Every structure is written in structure tokens, then in C-alpha cells.
Amino acid sequence: MDQQMREDLLKLFQTKLNRAMVYYLETCTRCGVCTTACHVYQSMPQARYIAAYRAEIVRRIYKKHFKGQGKLWPSYGEAKELTEAALQELYDAAYSCTGCRRCMVYCPFGIDTQMLMSIAKLLLVGAHAEPEILTLLADTSIEKGRSLEFFKEGFLQGVKNLEQKVVEKWKLEAEGKTVIPVDVEGAELLYVALAGAHSIIPAAAVFNAAGENWTLSFFEAVNFGAFVGDPTRTKLILDRIVNEALRLKVKEVCICECGTAYRVMKQLSGTQPFKVSSVTEVHARYLREGRIRVSKKAFEGQVVTYHDPCQIARNGGVLEEPRFILQHLTDDFREMAPDPRYNYCCGGGGGLVALGEDTLDFRMKSAKVKAEQVQKTGATVLATACENCHTQLSDLNRHYGLGLNVQFLTSMVADALVVS
């Protein structure tokens, strides 16, 4: 790596050094309490999968380039120069961490390993050594925001086709209203879905059953910028939705079942005239207010458990709502052990699922402990509220022969709708 490149990367590093980050970099006592926190380490007990070990890879570079200690006496803290080899180490550390923050619950100081890994990811982006596909996907999303006119026609046609399916399945005539409204100014709620019928059809059925004044976003919720750890792209992707919400003057932005999208929207959109909810929260509200009714028939005789998506539950705070919904759907709900704060990551976060086949082997091996955790509940239905988790859990189901029915919580609500 030449000097210019190193300087550029260190400038990027510098942008990350806010107060919290410096706390996290300065404080680890390497006590090892976080060792068993990580699902990757639990499944494959190797030192490199310990949270503090990953963090130390970033910390070594910090010591070398940002601390007097690392310049005067590098061996004291094993300070390390930023080199090509260091980049490879950063890659291995960051892309075997799903950013679930389970280790943060263990650490006596609450060190956020996901945040430390965001330095690694940013340096990789700066060195063009990140998983290219994630950047490509992020750029596609950004491009769609810039040239919406170009995509509009195809999108509207696609939505028309989906409407048919909603009407057929739920016999929901939306009383002269459009079944899937798009671009409605003054709507109450903007629903941001994913590209894919499964994210739109059941949601549309529930919104219409609840008599919601809603509108579907042109954009997909997923934020590949966040996966690849690129703050600029993350912001551009987020802003498309924020601007749409402002243009349509909605009061609420409802994010579909996508953990990262929810957390990014909820925590990064700043103070806005609309509130941000997850579709799980909205469904729970409909049930509480009696705006929709569901029956337990659809899942009779089934044992149901729920996987808390890390970004929605431990990191987003939506814990009560899915349980409230499930109480209405089944009489046999079983909680996983240990409790939700300690829930294991599915093993697919941090962009790993988006990397598809390339990470499949690692994802299956590293989430062995998750498969066991699910199995112990004796459930037949595994519900979750995140696209990534759903994909990963389905892969686990196949790989470990768990014989489960992996379901989206929204689909379960839609399937159990009692339409009067």
C-alpha cells in the first residue's frame, strides 16, 4: 500500500473517531467476558471469532496511527501499521461479524463491536476491497432515487399485478379504493416494502382490513449502504424515503420486515414530522385497537416460536409487540431460551445473507448454536420479522434438517385475518 493510499484511509478512520468510538477503542481490558457471547465463537470456538479479538484488529491500527503509545513503543500494545495484510485481517473480522451486538450485553463496559467493525468496513470501502456486490446494490438503490421517472412505469405495472392477488385471496374489495395505493399525497402512512410480492401482498391485505389510509413507497426499504458500512451511501438511500415521506406529507413511515432498514430509518432519520414504526408495531396496534381481527384457526395444533431480529429487538426495542401479536395467533407459543436480550443472531446479518452463496458455508457453520436454540423449543413454526433472518433461518432449516415452517410474522397475521 502506498503512502497516499494509507493517508487517505487514515483520514477515513479519523472521521469515525467520535466520543463513543474513542471510548470503545480506549477501554477494552481484554478480560475475555465477551468470549462466549458471539454465536460464531459458540459454533466454532476459535479465538478469531471472539468479539474482543475482532475489535483488537481495529484497535491495533488505532494505536499505531492515532496514539503516542503505538508510535513510541509499538510492541506494548501490539500496535500495527495499516497495510495490505491488515486490510485482509479487517475483512475477515468485519465480514464474520453480523453486527448483532450480543457481545455488548456481556461486556462490563458495553463495548459496541458492531461500531468498531464499522471502521473496518469503511476502510475496506475506501480501499475498494469491500464485497463489490454490496456497493453495486447500494448504487442501484441510489440510482433509482435519482431517476425515479424511468422506473415508475414498470413499478406501477408490477403493483397492478399484485393487486389482483390480494383481491383473490382475501376477497377484499377495498370499497372503491385502490387495493395497493401508490403516491397518495396526504395519506396517513407510508409503507416501505422490499422488492418482492411477499413483502407487499400480506401487508396490503392487513392495511386494507384495518381501513388504513396508506400508500406504498416507490422504494425498497433495504439499505445496502448500511451493510457495506458506507455512511454516505447509507444516507443517500435513506434520504430517498425521507424525501418521499415529506413530499407526501404522511404522519407515519412504516418499515416492512427488514431489521437494518428499520434501525437505520428509526435512528438515523433525525427529527422529522413523521414517526417511524416497524410493521410489527403497526399490526400490534391494529389488534389492540380492534381495527383487525385474527383467528387462531390458521395455526391450530402448531407450536410457534419467534426469532427476535437483532436490529429490531435488542438494537431497536421492538420486543413486546411480536409477542402480543403471537398471543392472538396461537395458544402454544414457546419462548426461546435464554431471553430475548440474549437471543442469538440468526447468523445472517451484517450483509452476509446479501452475499448469498459465497457466505453460505460460513453462515451455516457459524449459526449451529442458533439451530440448536430453535430446536430446543420443540416448535413447528418459526416466526420472524426480518427478511434477512427469514432467508438465513430457511437455509438453516434446510441445512440442519429442522423440519420447521419458517414464516414471516406479517404473513401469519394476513393468513389469520378474519374478514367481515
Partner 1 sequence: MQTAYYLVLVPMVYAAFAVFVLGTVWRLVQTARRPAHPTTLQIFPKKEPAWLYAVGDTFLMPSIFRHSPVLWFFLAVFHVAVLLLIIGHLELFGDWPIFQLVPHEVFLGRGFVGLVAAVSVLYLFFRRFHAPVRDLSVPEDYYLLILLFLTIIFGSQMDWARRWYDYDVMGVSAYRAYLWSLVMLKPFVPDEILYSGHAFMLVLHVFFANLFLMVFPFTKMMHTFLALPMNLLRRG
Total site size for partner 1, rule CB under 8 A? 53
For 64-98, the DSSP string reads: HHH-HHHHH-HHHHT-----HHHHHHHHHHHTT--
Site string for ligand SF4, 337-366 (x = CB under 6 A): --------x---------------------
Site residues (CB under 8 A) for partner 1, limited to 51-90: 52-53, 56, 67-69, 75-78
Q: Residue type at 80?
A: K
Which CB atom, from 296 or from 323, has the smaller least distance to partner 1? Answer: 323
Whose CA is closest to 269, among 253, 280, 282, 293? 253
Determine the Cα–Cα distance for residues 184 and 138; give it in Å rounded to an integer.
26
Site residues (CB under 6 A) for ligand SF4, limited to 111-150: 111, 113-114
Shortest Å, Cβ 158 to partner 1: 33
- Please identify which residue in 111, 120, 382, 393 interacts with partner 1, judged by CB under 8 A: 111
Residue the block writes with cell 425498497: 220
Binding partner selected for residue 281 from ligand SF4, partner 1, none, CB under the kind-specific 5 to 8 Å limit: none
Beta bridge partners of 191: 216, 254
Which CB atom, from 98 or from 343, has the smaller least distance to ligand SF4? Answer: 98
Determine the Cα–Cα distance for residues 216 and 187; give it in Å rounded to an integer.
10
Which CB atom, from 40 or from 265, has the smaller least distance to ligand SF4? Answer: 40
Q: C-alpha grid cell for residue 416?
A: 389469520
Binding partner selected for residue 389 from ligand SF4, partner 1, none, CB under the kind-specific 5 to 8 Å limit: none
- Please identify which residue in 16, 65, 101, 283 interacts with ligand SF4, judged by CB under 6 A: 101
Residue span binding ligand SF4 (CB under 6 A) among the ranges 35-43, 143-151, 171-179, 322-330? 35-43
Residue the block writes with cell 432515487: 145
Which CB atom, from 108 or from 186, has the smaller least distance to ligand SF4? Answer: 108
- Contact (Cβ atoms closer than 8 angstroms) between residue 87 and residue 129: yes
Helices (H), 29-171: 39-43, 51-66, 68-72, 74-77, 84-94, 102-106, 113-126, 132-146, 148-170
- Contact (Cβ atoms closer than 8 angstroms) between residue 372 and residue 343: no
Shortest Å, Cβ 28 to partner 1: 7
Site residues (CB under 8 A) for partner 1, limited to 184-203: none
User: Considering the rule CB under 6 A, would residue 389 count as an interface residue with ligand SF4?
Assistant: no
Determine the Cα–Cα distance for residues 377 and 355; give it in Å rounded to an integer.
29
Determine the Cα–Cα distance for residues 371 and 347; give it in Å rounded to an integer.
10
Residues in touch with ligand SF4 (CB under 6 A): 28-34, 37-38, 40, 51-52, 54, 97-103, 106-107, 109, 111, 113-114, 345
Residues in touch with partner 1 (CB under 8 A): 17-24, 26-33, 35-37, 45, 47, 50, 52-53, 56, 67-69, 75-78, 101, 104-112, 115, 267-268, 313-317, 319, 340-341
